[in-house]
Chain A
Amino acid sequence: MTPSLKISQNIVNRLSGGKHSYFGKVYGILAKNNLVVLGLQVEIDGGDGNDLVNSFPAEIYLCGIIIIGDGNYDEQTIKSSLNEVYVTDNPVFINYKLETEEITTHFFVNGQLEKTNFAVISEQEILSQFLHIHLKADVPLTCEFSANAIKESFTNLRKIVASGVMSFGFKKSNLYLLGSDNDNGVVGITGNPSIGELCDESNEPSEGGARRKKIQNYDLDVMKVNMLKKVTKENGVVGGKEHAPLCVLDKSKQATMQSQILTTEIAEQCKTMSIMVPIDALTMVHRQTKIASLYGIIVESAVRHLRLLEKTFLASLGPPEDKCSQPETFHFYPQECGHFITKIYLKNDVSERNKLHQELLLSQMKPFFRRANNFIFKTKSQGGEILINPHEGLKPSDNGGKISLIKGKYSYYHYCQNKMDDNGWGCAYRSLQTLASWFKLQGYTDKDVPTFSDIQKCLVDIGDKPENFVGSKQWIGSTEVGFVLNTLLGITSKILYVSSGEEMATKGPELVSHFENHGSPVMIGGGVLAHTILGVDYNSQSGNLKFLILDPHYTGNEDLHTVQSKGWCGWKSVDFWDKTAYYNMCLPQVPIGI
């Protein structure tokens, strides 16, 4: 039976902006007889070619090809390309006509292209149907330090991982997947629930989780899994090869070195590499997948990740083969993509982010694959963590105008965090921290959000404040915020000035333009209190302006419900501003580039 076809909204969005012709691959996931096309990769000069599949979470496969162009294509070429897509029985062919922005889709069935309908699926819907499994394990590996030995070692490692000796444990639920032996290979649970049920169950204890779900529908749910090795065998007959432990000391290399004068060639041969192979792999599965059937899927994710590691490793080993370093895995979740992309960066390497942006048809204006863009997986303990984007899920404003909001993520900094009582003087510092967090979370910087003393020290260093400013409880204003952003993060800011709160009503167009073009949070201060502006709702007909305000004066716990219901984050009208006070706004200007 041919599945029904769905295409992610994010792909449609990316296509619609395009102007160039491309040939490319599409990646998708098959579940419940739906083929969901989630990702694409177009061919560019010197691109990654086949290998991006290992950067996708396991279960997402190459499922077809895409042509972006004038709508004409050579059917024979398409067919022969589709023949190579062997993973699925029904490869898909997507044709996008630039001129009309029209998408046509075909399935390749029995050597023929059959036109088919498709539905567009939103990211929310995808997240409601699928969740991610995050496997993390460290496997020590020692091998000769040469390309061939590394290749061989990784092949063997994959074989071992796939040989059935590994088990997988769900950290939260005390549940283990053993693969073979037991009834269904699952230990620690009765029955055979689905992964979705397990996920809901393990999320339960975190209070407010349910409420949050109502507001945001589905989070990006990630289940953490670790890898264990079975070290016992069923007791049985002593087999031919089994024996009591032996210990083999292999010091041969050294013996050779001592007894002979070595040529450099042999010396090089002796190099050994010891590495803790960090398996850090993602899988995307349908929520209704039975736990018992996950074993093979998780193994596949580990194998994929090992391939990715091997490739990165070998690529970095150029002659001379002595430069290599600990690989680091980064999982990126670019909002324009709506799926994970896993990349491995070696320390000190210069990665080719540019290519990746092109291949995925991503904007060249902002970074998605810098180290700092690394997706932050929620840690186990819910609550007590600083809130991210508390404005999400708020009731929309009722101004009826054009809503221009901050783009991307920020952390909500406010009074009395990290056990520091700054009530009454620290609001501008907190607002500055929120601004800095935005730059960090967007990947523009990998510097940590500056602390109060970082900020004060910075202002002393640049000569803006006297020495005794450090450790004091003195206020700072918008200009200082600009100085600090510039000095610590290299971000320039535009300062807007209004002489009274009433005048704020006239700043609509300028703020709209800021949020459209830069999308960074705005700090506002001046005669009175400091706040952060996250967006505006500007009705150009009535001239009415509303502000989405994040208030740093909140002293409570990190509780989203309180923050939203008590108005610490919410829409305010112009009379929110003090008529008798002047205001300065600091508008951080976002650099263009990746």
Chain B
Amino acid sequence: MVRSAVADDRLISYFNNVAKQNTYSVGLILGQSLSGKDYVIHFAKTPPFHPHEGKESTTPVLRLTNINDVNEEWVADHARQATRMLPGGMHVLGIFIVSPEDLLNPFSSKIKGILNRTHRHLDSQKYLFGNPSNNEKLVLNYCATSQQFSCKSYNVAAGSVQPAEFKFLSTPIKWAQVECKYQMDQIYHISENESDWPLKKHMGIILDTMNKNLKSGVFLYDGELKDGDESIENIGKRKIPRSNKSGGHDDHLKPLQEATDQNLFEVSETGNQIRIFGHVVSKLWLNPKISINTASEAIMQDIMRSLATRLDMHWDSLTEEEHGEDMNSVHEPPRRVLIPLPNSRIAISDYLFPGEGPHDAKISLEEMLDIKIHSDSDVLDVEGQADLTEYYNEAMDSESEEVIAKKPIENNKSLYYIGLGVAFLVLIISLVIHFMQQS
């Protein structure tokens, strides 16, 4: 079967605009892939390559004059940055190229290089879930001279090129919106021999635990337990009579049994611990035909992708000194904000550091996704910022207001939170699903 991809026809104009700006352009195709079909939500051209980073203003931007001018690494990193902003279930499906000539017949080896590089780069990022489960990457070529589109599918694993079909549809693509708020309040104990590890290393392990936990979770859709093979469009439509229930679909319960053998008892000399608390807002747009299992996976990937992204950004923002900081400290990674794509309800994410506001999202959106935000109200601050003063008062269990000033040193009070680590507890994840009536 020929691989096919669809996109709303309002996106066509984007190519005309891009073609007007430059003779050669490369960009990303963003969307969802489901059983041989790709549903495109957005195109974003790769920002011009700056050979000397940090001096953008002075160095003239390199213009592409030939497909071979494209910097593979630059595109791959753009793909990584863009993926961070996508909700779970959405991926960089491939690239588009605007060029004066046809580049797909014959298939340019440079394109293969770009795609291979991108695939590898996305794969190397833990918890980014950058590549869809197939190894296919789309290439859409817009020939500015003939104003024609042509499309191919490139299999990264096999290195083979297959023909593909690309259609712009006048009827909007249907999406189901799935959302949940994932609450965290977990304590991780740092054992004695780990106490000199940097926080980053601890957090890596914590992410692994969280991922493992999510995998053993039980997902309820609109308060219902569904068969994993059913498609999400059936949710709420009918209840399965009990007698019809087949036995064998409790895979997601198995990990618990392994876990019940866990024996842990430890007394250590230190009280070092990491507490993580707050919530992750997860909003996804999924094709209604997608199965419950795939949907659940997309939700896990969304949560993990979002957590990993903010931590990465947080680490990048720390100085060398702060990394090695070995004391009581509060880390506040950036929070997630949602920005709807133009003319769509589908929102992509950006991350804002404490103190940053909607205007701060503008720059990255324009650069990474080629989206212009017109009003601050387009940026939905869904998660909220923590009030650290309040936190300190509460957590330090102190009588006076001097706490904040003294926080890093003063600490004779016992500071043990009694939190439920969720390790080895199976989670119930409740999701609300609604189908969009997009006009």
Contacts and interface: CB of A to CB of B under 8 A. Distances in A.
A242 B431 contact: no
A592 interface: no
B424 A140 contact: yes
Contacts of B224: 187
Contact of B422 (A141, A229, A253, A326): A229
A276 B262 contact: yes
Interface string B269-284: 1111111111111000
Contact of B430 (A232, A252, A255): A232
A190 B277 contact: no
A138 B247 contact: no
Contacts of B12: none
A189 interface: yes
Contacts of A271: 267-269, 271
B430 A244 contact: no
Given A144-B414, A181-B223, A248 B426 contact: no
Given A250-B275, A255-B328, A272 B189 contact: yes
Contacts of A175: 225
A238 B278 CA distance: 12
B77 interface: no
Interface string A29-54: 00000000000000000000000000
Nearest to B334: A244
Contacts of A256: 411-412
Interface in B159-199: 179-184, 187, 189-191, 195, 199
Given A138-B259, A235-B179, A235-B432, A251 B276 contact: no
Contacts of A245: 184, 276-280, 307, 310, 333
Nearest to A227: B425
Contacts of B190: 251
B428 A178 contact: yes
A273 interface: yes
A496 interface: no
A274 B189 contact: yes
Nearest to A191: B242
Contacts of B436: none
Given A157-B418, A254-B195, A325-B265, A232 B183 contact: yes
Interface residues of B, number: 92
Most buried by B among A143, A191, A253, A267: A253
A188 B260 CA distance: 23
B385 interface: yes
B290 interface: no
A270 B425 contact: no
A232 B421 contact: no
B384 A272 contact: no
Interface stretch (A148-156, A446-454, A472-480, A573-581): A148-156
A182 interface: yes
Contacts of B422: 229, 231
Given A238-B382, A244-B333, A231 B427 contact: yes
Contacts of A142: 187, 189, 273, 416, 421
Nearest to B387: A243
Nearest to A266: B412
A211 B260 CA distance: 33
B275 A176 contact: no
A79 interface: no
A253 B270 contact: yes
A494 interface: no
B327 interface: yes
Contact of A232 (B268, B277, B429): B429
Given A245-B278, A248-B395, A232 B418 contact: no
Contacts of A144: 271, 414, 416
B247 A250 contact: no
A246 B425 contact: no
Interface stretch (B111-119, B249-257, B364-372): B249-257
Contacts of A174: 225, 245, 247, 249-250, 253
Contacts of B423: 140
Contacts of A253: 270-272, 411
B425 A244 contact: no
Contacts of A231: 182-184, 217, 422, 427-429
Given A232-B181, A244-B336, A274 B250 contact: no
A274 B264 contact: yes
A246 B330 contact: yes
B14 interface: no
Nearest to A230: B428
B235 interface: no
A238 B385 CA distance: 10
Contacts of A140: 264, 420-421, 423-424
Given A169-B426, A235-B181, A322 B267 contact: yes
A248 B274 contact: yes
Contact of B425 (A137, A178, A182, A191): A137
A321 B180 CA distance: 44
A191 B224 CA distance: 14
Contacts of B237: none
B377 to A, nearest CB: 15
B248 to A, nearest CB: 10
A371 to B, nearest CB: 15
Interface residues of A, number: 71
Contacts of B123: none
Contact of A248 (B262, B330, B411): B330
B384 to A, nearest CB: 5
Contacts of A141: 418, 420-421
Interface string A286-307: 0000000000000000000000
Contacts of B275: 247-248, 250
A245 B188 CA distance: 14
Most buried by A among B218, B267, B271, B386: B271
Interface in A162-220: 167, 169, 171, 174-176, 178, 181-182, 187-191, 205
A582 interface: no
Given A178-B428, A234-B181, A272-B189, A188 B225 contact: yes
Contacts of B247: 174, 205
A238 B383 CA distance: 7
Interface in B271-323: 271-281, 307, 310
B383 A243 contact: yes
B329 interface: yes
Contacts of B331: 246-249
Contacts of B187: 142
Contacts of A274: 189, 191, 264-268
Nearest to B223: A182
A187 B220 contact: yes
Contacts of A152: 418
Given A181-B223, A247-B333, A248-B395, A232 B431 contact: yes
Which 10 residue pairs spanning A and B have beta carbons closest together? A244-B335, A245-B278, A243-B386, A326-B265, A276-B264, A140-B421, A252-B411, A244-B383, A156-B418, A188-B225
21 contacts: A136-B260, A140-B424, A144-B416, A153-B418, A227-B425, A228-B426, A232-B183, A234-B181, A244-B332, A245-B276, A245-B278, A245-B280, A247-B274, A251-B328, A252-B328, A269-B414, A270-B269, A273-B267, A276-B262, A324-B267, A325-B265
Given A269-B414, A273-B267, 19 more contacts: A137-B425, A140-B423, A141-B421, A142-B189, A149-B416, A152-B418, A174-B250, A175-B225, A226-B426, A227-B426, A229-B425, A234-B181, A246-B330, A247-B199, A247-B332, A249-B328, A250-B415, A272-B416, A276-B264
Interface of A: 136-145, 149, 152-153, 156-157, 160, 167, 169, 171, 174-176, 178, 181-182, 187-191, 205, 226-235, 238, 242-257, 267, 269-276, 322, 324-326
Interface of B: 179-184, 187, 189-191, 195, 199, 203, 217-218, 220, 223-225, 239, 241-242, 245, 247, 249-250, 253, 256, 259-260, 262-281, 307, 310, 326-336, 381-387, 391, 395, 409, 411-412, 414-416, 418, 420-432
